[in-house]
Amino acid sequence: MKEINFYLIRHGQTEWNVLERMQGSQNSPLTEKGIEGAKITGQYLASMPFICAYSSTQQRAIDTRDYILAEHNPSVPAIPRFEDADFCEMDFGLWEGQPIAELNLQDDFQLYLNSPRVFTAESNQGEHTLAVLARMQQGLEKIIAQYDTGNVLIVSHGTALRILLNAIRGCEWYAYRDETHSPRIANTSVSIVNFKQADHQSVGQFSLQQYNDVNHLG
């Protein structure tokens, strides 16, 4: 029997989040609020016996993970840390670093926001939604192949997590920007996904236990 609980957390607030600039494969540092949010999340999860802790390879996610683990209960054994590019943010190509207010004036950006089913990502030379979903799922599968039971911490990114969690809910991939059932993922929010596979099953089952929870942030 396999059973793994994935604690999926978006990185803390960054400077580009505050400036409302498009962030993706490029990085900007955590703000003081972002660091504080990571520490509070760490305190919230301080006694959780994680078997390992992952982040994307992007510095804002690595830093958030490390701030979270720095708050962990000293009585809990040391937690192995890993970085995996599968958990990186969507690559927004030519849009990265640009003010979102200016991007909102572009037809292709509106297509990305409102019609992801037909947005190809060719105009911005970025990454397609399905490519992000495939690698996020691949990242989870690699962990499942390595562990049988336990709790796993993963620090990732807003759009990438939204795409993944939308699919785990069983929704069509292009519905991930629908605010009615897939609200925007908040900084240092906690979502929990359970994976379960009985010994007689060839394929396991993912189920969403908690989405975008920010109650611990006050």
Residues serving a catalytic function are 11, 89
Do the beta carbons of residue 135 and residue 163 sit within 8 Å?
Answer: no
DSSP per residue, the chain? -EEEEEEEEEPPPBHHHHHTB--SSS--PBPHHHHHHHHHHHHHTTT--EEEEEE-SSHHHHHHHHHHHHTS-TTSPP--EEE-GGGPPP--GGGTTSBHHHHTTSHHHHHHHH-TTT--STTTT---HHHHHHHHHHHHHHHHHH-SEEEEEEEE-HHHHHHHHHHHTT--GGGTT-TTTSPPPPTT-EEEEEEEE-TT-SS-EEEEEEEEE-GGG-
Do the beta carbons of residue 119 and residue 90 sit within 8 Å?
Answer: no
The Cα–Cα gap between 117 and 129 comes to 9
